[in-house]
Amino acid sequence: MNEPTQDILEAESDVLVRKIKHYLITIFGRVLEEADADEYYLAFCYAMREKIMINWQATAETWLTRDVRTVYYLSMEYLPGRFLNNNIMNLKNQEVVGRVLKKTGRALHDLVSHEYEPNLGNGGLGRLASCFMDSLATLKMPARGYGLRYQYGLFEQQIWDGVQIEKPDLWLRTENPWEFRRDLRKLMVKLCGTPIRSPNVPEEVYDLVDPEEVWAMPYDIPILGYSPTNDFAVVTLRLWSTKESPRNFQLQRYNAGRLDQAAENTTLTDVLYPSDVHETGRRIRLKQEFLLASASLQDIFRYYFSRNKDISAFGDKVRIQINDTHPAVLIAELMRMLTKHFNVAWKQAWEITQNCTGYTNHTLMTEALEAWDQNLFRYLLPRQYKIIERINLDFCTMLRTKYPNDEDRVRRMSVLENGQVRMANLSIIGSHKVNGVAELHTEILKARAFREFYELYPDRFVNITNGVTHRRWLRNANPDLASFISKRIGTGWIQDFSQISRLAEFAADEESQKQFLEVKRACKSHLLDFLNDEGRPRDAVGKQLPANLKLDTSALFDIQVKRVHEYKRQLLKALHLIVRYQEILENPFVARAKRLVIFSGKAAASYEMAKTIIRLISCIDKKVNNDPVANQLLNVAYVENYFVSRAEIIIPAADVSEQISTAGMEASGTGNMKFSMNGALTVGTEDGANVEMRQAITDAWWPFRFGASSEEITDMRTKNSYRAWDLYTGNSRLKRAVDALRYRTLATHDIEHQSLSALYYSLLESSWGSQPDRYFVLKDFDSYYTVQKRVEALYQMPLKWAEYAIHNIAGMGKFSTDRAISEYSNKIWDLTSAPLDPEILERVRAAYRESDPTVVQ
Ligand code: 26W
């Protein structure tokens, strides 16, 4: 499509200015000159979103009339980030917006910073779901996302002198222009109550007596796809809320004095559970998961019957992907609805359920695998529990036939065991496809975590390696690098990221190397401005301290940003920092490269050891940054409150990306991909998607691989042959660093000393029956130390470094969610793209033009 002429741009910007003024007057009773930033932001968004509504309507109508197969993505978490800039970019409106801002005397940075991003997720799983939504829309796949509209997203993290403080995330404090409340679409969900057999129906179905009735109110968020032409599709993300409906308040309970229970259902979607480590086992969480499953299923059936007269085509028209086990109760609820409401025979209903459903596993951490207490489950979801009993009975009977006299296997594979409802087993049994999120992860699922299920259903297990949307994480987050790329290979990569491989041709080109280094330097300068402003540390009472960084953009920016977890080994990086600091004190000339180490990430609220690791890092920060010798060579910063918009500032500035998890523990990682796309070199273990990134980029340009392999780790675990103490005593450099944890080298007061000592003991002594150093930090320390030496050596050769960096960008073609979604569509959903019907689009456009009050007809 040819570029719009200046006149068109000018005309379009005039129309947009008129619309903004129209909304300011009609909604806020304000003229432009007196409108405050909040009012201007909202009026701007109202004006901007008009175009979106056209394609949103046309998309919905096209898919409705075409009666295409549709995929429904169910996730308890989404991390969409801010919408405004992404929408401007996908509407290709940057230039028009630039003119509008000039004409109205406003700045883009101020505008976008007025948006509170919806922190409706913990980390990788939630962000992946949002990257998937962007690619589903861009690939014009008939799809819809379902989730919950938490009143409070993931807590706001503040770090007061090393201590993580959790503050409520009031993201809905001001109006959100990117959501649309759909009152006419609210649905009722039934919980608790007593199941009684429904009379004279063939199958074993139940009515519910005296249930709790909860109204779920949908809020729709338009997710814009990218298209070089104006026929971009808009997918709906529908988030359920229980806040609005007064009927959710249970007066009887209130009168009975049980106030908490009375309000429980109105508060059901109040809070996102801030843990991505331990399954909560909490009743509210199970109620939330069922609310998502039941409301979404009812909505799916309503949409299906809006274009189908009977249930016969349901198995063909509907595909449902459950994002980890969190929505897995859906499998039981689908069976209940098919057998009860649509009189489908059990056997046929089971086939439909399996054919419709796909399950994605995102973690191997046993403590993260959901297993609900049977009594709690039976109390809250009595009918669904009965369905699971029946599913499990059929399944175990089949197992006993296939594996006679192997009760242990039946016990291991059963959904109901030890008083628990094991949601992973239910998800595998109830789905036609189960996928891991990286090749190594899927292999481990098949070889260990789900080995017996893999033996039983070999064709059910597939791998679909994660990705990220390169439009947000490269094109939008790093516009300078985007134009560096487009100048060399054109703009086709925005829609087809496989074209990025053509950038490799420029890796050895000195001019390109210099320009790349200039782009990186500008990103580093932008981050430094942030670190010396909003990102400054706080004292023990939360007051922001003056900036304490001495280094500039010539320093190596070495970054580890992700949730804090022992398996992600922020502790390994911290130990290396202590060694570097001790070496610098010994001999300041030891450090060949100045290094700024940046951490960021939240710890789950109940995860003490993770909080202790944050405390250690800020102890190191205080020690090193205030040491007049060391701070000329090494600086440390812990940026509080990591979330999508902060990642978009931090990631483009990285020279080095730290992906150092214990091999076999990180299912995939997606931060690793974002860093590499932005030209950072990865210091990585052979874990998760690091392995596939190395293979795609090739070993020649992946110089910083280190650490034990997942096989070696598994071997040491099974043989219990790991001796952390011997490594500690046998390595003076390591011993001195570990001892610093115990000998008050870093601690400035007793509490710090106690918590740092806890880390010391976790490395060297077994506690609570767990082995010392469960994540093999000491094991990998030496090879980590060596590889960091190589990092400093290569960084001395900037042009060579740039050559590596350009190859690390060029090798990332596979890691776009466009590729991942294409694989889901081919391997699991058998879904085809359904572009907008041009006639429908033109008709909606015409209707809009006729109705537009700001255009002189
Ligand atoms: C029940 C509490 C809970 C909540 C969330 C347990 C586990 C989770 C998530 C599965 C944790 C998570 O975010 N996993 C990450 O998912 C990413 C997307 O696939 C992967 O890239 C990461 O490796 C994985 O840790």
Mean pLDDT by 10 residues, the chain (857 residues): 79 94 95 95 96 97 96 98 97 94 94 95 98 98 98 97 96 95 96 88 84 95 96 98 76 67 81 76 91 98 96 98 98 97 95 98 92 96 97 98 97 97 98 98 98 98 98 98 98 98 98 98 98 94 93 98 98 98 88 91 96 98 96 97 98 98 98 98 98 98 98 96 96 98 94 96 86 96 98 97 98 98 98 98 94 69
Assess whether the C-beta atom of 360 lies below 6 angstroms from ligand 1. no
pTM recorded for the entire structure: 0.97
The secondary structure element, H or E, covering residue 264 is helix 259-264
Predicted confidence at residue 1, as pLDDT, reads: 52
Predicted confidence at residue 262, as pLDDT, reads: 63
Predicted confidence at residue 280, as pLDDT, reads: 59
Assess whether the C-beta atom of 414 lies below 6 angstroms from ligand 1. no
Dist. CA 686–CA 764, nearest whole Å? 25
Q: Which residues, listed in sequence order, are joined to residue 159 by a DSSP beta bridge? A: 164
Rounded distance from Cα 669 to ligand 1 centre (Å): 9
Q: Which amino acid is at 474?
A: L
The answer to whether residue 563 is catalytic is yes
The answer to whether residue 744 is catalytic is no
Q: Catalytic pick from 563, 573, 576, 694?
A: 563
Closest residue by Cα to residue 120 from 112, 130, 110, 132:
130
Predicted confidence at residue 588, as pLDDT, reads: 80
Closest residue by Cα to residue 380 from 214, 190, 249, 187:
190
Report which protein residue has its CA nearest ligand 1's atom 17. 124
For the CA of 669, the nearest atom of ligand 1 = 21
Assess whether the C-beta atom of 276 lies below 6 angstroms from ligand 1. yes
Which own/partner pairs from 721-727 qualify as long-range (CB within 8 Å, at least 24 positions apart)? Answer: 722/771, 722/773, 722/776, 722/779, 724/763, 724/764, 724/771, 724/772, 724/773, 724/778, 724/779, 725/764, 725/772, 727/778, 727/779, 727/781
Q: Which residues, listed in sequence order, are joined to residue 360 by a DSSP beta bridge? A: 323, 435
Dist. CA 185–CA 618, nearest whole Å? 49
Dist. CA 64–CA 73, nearest whole Å? 18
Predicted confidence at residue 769, as pLDDT, reads: 75
The secondary structure element, H or E, covering residue 234 is strand 234-241
Closest residue by Cα to residue 143 from 676, 831, 741:
831
Assess whether the C-beta atom of 668 lies below 6 angstroms from ligand 1. yes
The answer to whether residue 612 is catalytic is no
Q: Which residues, listed in sequence order, are joined to residue 420 by a DSSP beta bridge? A: 373, 417
Q: Which amino acid is at 316?
A: D
Sequence-ordered alpha helix ranges (H) in 76-180: 84-90, 94-104, 108-112, 124-138
Closest residue by Cα to residue 658 from 591, 709, 602, 601:
601
Question: Residue 332: how many CB atoms within 10 A of its CB?
Answer: 27
Query: Is the dihedral angle over the CA atoms 793, 614, 521, 473 positive or is it negative?
Result: positive
Assess whether the C-beta atom of 324 lies below 6 angstroms from ligand 1. yes
- The DSSP output letter for 825 is I
Assess whether the C-beta atom of 362 lies below 6 angstroms from ligand 1. yes
Across 61-78, b (16+ Cβ under 10 Å) vs e yields: bbbeeeebbbbbbbbbbb
Report which protein residue has its CA nearest ligand 1's atom 15. 124
